[in-house]
Structure formats: C-alpha cells, structure tokens
Amino acid sequence: MSINMHPNRLLQPSAIVRHAVLLTTGALILVPFVWMVSLSLKPPGEIFRASFSFWPTQFYGVENYTKALTEAPLPRYMGNGLIVCALILGLQILVCAPCAYALAKLRFPGRDLLFAMVLIGLLLPHQVLSLPLFVLGYQLGILNTYAALIFPYVVSPFGIFLFRQFFKTIPDDVVHAARLDGLSEIAIVWKIMVPMALPALAAFSIFSVVGHWNDLFWPLIAVRDESLMPPPLGIMAFKSEESGNDYGPLMAASTLIVLPLVVAFLAAQKWFVEGMTGGAVK
Amino acid sequence: MSEPLALTGAPDEPSATGSVRALPSPAVAPARRRALTEALAAWALAGPAVFFLLALFFLPVIGVLVIALTDWQFGALTLAFVGLANFREVFADDGFRASLVNTIVYVLIVVPGTLVFGLLIALLIESGKSCRSFYRAIHFLPFMATLTAMAVAWEALLHPTIGLVNQTLAAIGLPTANWLRDENTALPVLAVIGIWQNLGYAMVLFLAGLKSIPQDLYDAADIDGADLWLDRFRTVTLPLLGPVSMFVVIVVALRAFESFDTVKVLTQGGPGHASEMLLYTLYRESFEYLRTGYGAAVAVVFLAIVVTLTLAQARLMDRKVHYQ
C-alpha cells in the first residue's frame, strides 16, 4: 500500500476536496426540497417580496399547513395512496411469488416459454398499454374506482423476475427437505421460500410502493373523483384550484406528500438503496 | 405433495438429484408420475400470473396494435382495417414530429448528464471512508421523492420574478429568463430536472459496481506499477464498471423516454410544442382529445423505440462488455 493512502491522516488535501465537492453537490441537490419547505412556512406577503432567507420573518407554517390539510382533502389523498399501494403490493406478492417458485425450482413443459413471457413483460412500458387497459377498465365497469387504480398492476414481471433470481440461490436441498416433511408445493412457497427471501421481498416492496405512490400517469386516466385521487393527482388538482396564487399551502401540501417516503428512506436507507438496485448489479 | 408416493416406489430416491440415470427400472414409472405432478403443480402455481400476464400485458399489446391499424374510436361498435393511415397521420403532424425530436434531444441531454454526474459522485463517495451513507442519502433523495410534488417546488424555484433561480442570477449580474415559458429554455430546463432526479439512481448503481471490484485487482495493478490513482482508475475501475455503465445507460435512457410528470405539471408541452414529449403526446391525444387511432399509433411508435433501444443495448452489452 502506498504512502499517500495512510489511513491515520484524516485531513489530507484529497479528503478536503472530497468533502467540499460532495457538500456542494449535495446542497445543490437539496435546493428544491429546502425551498419547498421554506415557502411552506412563509406568509403570502413574504413569498412575493422575494428574499433569499430560508427562515420566515413571520412564521406562517401553522396557517399554511392547516389550509393544506383542510381546504384540499390531503388526508384523503394520502389515505388513497396508502390503500392503493398496499393492495397493489399484496396482490403482486400473492401472484408473483408462486410463479417465481415454479420458474426457479420446478421442472415443467413450457417453463422457458413462461420465462420468455416474463422477460417480454419486463420490456413493455406500461404507458403503451394504457389505451387498451382503459378500454378494459371501461368494459369491466370499474373506471373511477379503487379497482381501476389497482388492476393493471396485479402482476409484476419485475416481481416474478426478482423472486425467481432469489429463489434460485436457495439450495434445492431445502425444497427436498420440506417435501420430505410433507409440505405441499404451495406451502413450500409461503412457509419456506418467501420467509427465506425476505431481502428480495423488502426490495420488491420498496420498489413497488415507491413506484405507485409516485405514479401520476395511470391515475390521471383511471379516476376522475377527487375522493379517489392518490397524492400526485391530488396535488395537481390542488394546484389548479389555487391557480398558482397561493404558494404557501401548495408547498405545504407538496411537503406532506413527499414526507412519508423521505422519512421511510432516511430510516431504512440501506434497504431502499438495495430495493432500487436489487437484481440490477450482479 | 407427491413425494411420499414416490418414496414408497423408490427407497433410494433422495439421491435422485445427482444420479437419475442410475435408478433401477422399477422407479421409472413413479418418476414419470412425479414429473407429471410436478408439472401440474407448477402450472397451478404459475396460473394466476400467466392469466394476468396475458390479460394485462399481452392482450393490451395486441389491442394497441389493432387500434393503431383500424379506424376504431372509443365507444364505436364497428371497426375497419385502415392499414397505416393512422401512422401516416401521425408522421404528417408537425406536433408529433416536434414531440419525437424533443424526446430524443431530452434523452441525449439526460443520459450523459446523469451518467457523468452519477459516476463522479459515486467515485468521490467511494474514495473516502467518512460520511458515505450521509452523502449517498442526500444525492439519492430526488429519486425517491414524488416527482409531481417536486415539480411544483421546481415551478416555484423557476418563477420569473419571485423564483430563487432568477433572484440568484440577477444578484450576480447574469441574465434571467422565464424558464418554463421560453421556447429555448423549456426543454433544457426539463432535462436538468431529469438529471437532478436520476443522478442518485446512477450513483447508487455505480457504488454497487465499485464495491464489487475485488481489492486483489487493485493490489495487482499496484504491483504492475499503476501507482497513480488515474492509472488504477483507467486499468481497473473503468473496465470493470463496463456492465454497470451499460445498465445505467439503458435504465436512464428508458426512464428519460418515459418522462411525463414534469411535462404535465410544468409546461403542458408548451410553449407551442417546444417541450412536448412522446408520452405527453400519447396521453393528450388518447385521453384528452380522444383521438384513439392517433393515440394508439403514437403508442406503437413509442413501444418500437423502447423495445429497439433495450434489445440493441442488450446485444451491445453481450458483445462488448466484460463479464466475470
């Protein structure tokens, strides 16, 4: 090991440069967040006076956040987001895990065909399917309901793929032992494979919830009623109602919508990062 | 399920994994029966997924192709084959051509920008031991945050009079702009937001790639005389980041092609068609103007681009990139 990599010297020039650059880029990255929170704490007069100060001279946070929570049905939007994300995730795991187990551990005619179908599904951008899915939702008579928000995502090709990759790393002996214990195949999926695949399960859950909490495209098509809107659609409705004049409450609403994922992310950073890169780098 | 049955037929079954050929002939019939029950169990387990894959992916793809090739409209009871008429209409439309060009320009800005910044930040983070997860968290934050809400924050930042961007520029004597309403700046500004959102993702992928490079290789490079950081970077780091880099290019390009939220919230494709992109065109024509055939044709073009891109780069990755 060369001399310039000595571990005891903390404040080498290279370390200072590293911190300086990363703090600068980090600060730039955070500007939109900081500005959003800052505006959410300011009264209208101060917002339109346009100053550089982050902290308001007159604290108006209570008024803005109260307005965001009462004038827009923000709690409703967030409740909708929660319901939709939870149902999508639950159904996806229910549908994908058994299929992934079959692909990973069982031998059957058509397995390669099925796996090819999963890969093709991975390739298809969901937005391309929106027109036929809209027609399908219309035929089923479920447009403008929770079901409309959920049904296109019941199966996730990525979920099947991820679970299959993980299940393949579990030794076959585990499956044989479970069979000797008299477990049925479906019991092996839920009692052996899924509990052993918790990292993959966590990764997929994060991937799925983040994706659907943040999705704007499909909800825009699937629902009209304000009472059914998930957070991104809700914030758009709020924005057009306010027609951009009342920045404080709008920023308060945005902050509240971004907050759950940010808090969850900061609390479980490692899991989130693994969730977003799971299966990507191998 | 079937295992106890098979066991009574062939007592030495547990060793069957390795030595199927060595089994005595009486075991063949139970083995075949076991294969059948295994196939049935597999199809039962995969059944729901197969059904939904067909109903929610394969049927809609066929559906969108059918709609694109016929004159079918929402609510119509009949349809007639019209060949490529919808595609001719789409490509004859200045708005669509602008949208296509804009999307390509946007991708060509976002992909290299995200790649370069993501790699630089990953290298900087990995070059020291302290504050790693802190820096990683900050740079990854935009990727998690609800883009619709963050677009609202960006709109406030870019506000022509009270926005922080113009205030800052004015304070240091630089020209200001009405960023989202100027046809020269609208698309580049959306691309900057695209880079802002995605660079953390690229960074995280590069960090994982850097971590998977074995220390042995750096030691070997040291012995071979690669004393300088740059030498080690050129001979070890960069070649071994090949697969990750290709992957980052693919996923970021696909994400860039699929940009929609910022267009919808910030510009609605304007001014004129200056910031219109494919997915926004697809949405507006299909669901606001209810031009079903036109919308389906745009969807098919979009699908063709995305599929071509993925397959081409998957091939490139197979040929050129180092694998372990």
Over residues A160-198, the pLDDT tens digits come to 999 999 999 999 999 999 999 999 999 999 999 999 999
CB distance B209–A25 less than 8 Å?
A: no
Does residue A97 register a pLDDT over 90?
A: yes
Q: Are residues A96 and A17 in the same domain?
A: no
CB distance B153–A35 less than 8 Å?
A: yes
Q: Are residues A100 and A157 in the same domain?
A: yes
- pLDDT confidence of B246, banded at 50, 70, 90? confident
Contacts of B161 in chain A (CB under 8 A): 50
Identify the pLDDT of residue B309.
83
Distances (CA, A) of B127 to A49, B124, B227: 43, 5, 15
Identify the pLDDT of residue B7.
36
Mean pLDDT of B181-205: 93
Mean pLDDT of B151-180: 88
Residues of chain A above pLDDT 90, percent = 61
- Answer whether B282 touches A (CB < 8 Å): yes
Structural domain range at position A46 = 3-63
Segment 154-193 of chain A within 8 Å of chain B by CB: 154-155, 157, 160, 172, 176, 179-180, 182, 184-186, 189
- Answer whether B306 touches A (CB < 8 Å): yes
- Of A18-32, A44-58, A251-265, the range with the lowest mean pLDDT is A44-58
- pLDDT confidence of B322, banded at 50, 70, 90? very low
Q: Are residues A235 and A97 in the same domain?
A: yes
As a CATH number, domain B85-320 is 1.10.3720.10
**Nearest residue on chain B to A259, alpha-carbon basis:** B145
- Answer whether A265 touches B (CB < 8 Å): yes
Is residue A89 domain-resident?
yes
- Answer whether A261 touches B (CB < 8 Å): yes
Q: Read off the pTM.
A: 0.86
Mean pLDDT of B94-119: 94
- pLDDT confidence of B16, banded at 50, 70, 90? very low
Identify the pLDDT of residue A243.
58
Identify the pLDDT of residue B88.
92
Is residue A106 domain-resident?
yes
Mean pLDDT of A89-106: 95
Please report the DSSP string for chain A in residue order. Answer: --GGG-TT----HHHHHHHHHHHHHHHHHHHHHHHHHHHHTS-HHHHHH--S-SS-SS--HHHHHHHHHHTS-HHHHHHHHHHHHHHHHHHHHHHHHHHHHHHHH---TTHHHHHHHHHHHHHS-GGGGHHHHHHHHHHHT-TTSHHHHHGGGSS-HHHHHHHHHHHHHS-HHHHHHHHHTT--HHHIIIIIIHHHTHHHHHHHHHHHHHHHHH--HHHHHH---GGG--HHHHHHHHHHHHTTS-HHHHHHHHHHHHHHHHHHHHHTHHHHHHHHHTTT--
- Looking at the structure of chain A, the number of domains it has is 2
Is residue A69 domain-resident?
no
Over the stretch B292-311, which tens digit does the pLDDT of each residue have?
999 999 999 999 999 988 88
CB distance B53–A109 less than 8 Å?
A: no
Is residue A282 domain-resident?
no
Is residue A68 domain-resident?
no
CB distance A131–B295 less than 8 Å?
A: yes
Segment 219-278 of chain B within 8 Å of chain A by CB: 222, 227, 243-244, 247, 251, 254, 257-258, 260-261, 264-265
What are the residue ranges spanned by the domains of chain B?
3-69, 85-320
- Answer whether B52 touches A (CB < 8 Å): yes
Over the stretch B134-165, which tens digit does the pLDDT of each residue have?
999 999 999 989 999 999 999 989 988 888 88
Q: Are residues A198 and A91 in the same domain?
A: yes
Segment 103-132 of chain A within 8 Å of chain B by CB: 103, 106-111, 114, 117-118, 120-121, 123-125, 127-132
ipTM of the complex: 0.88
Q: Are residues A89 and A20 in the same domain?
A: no
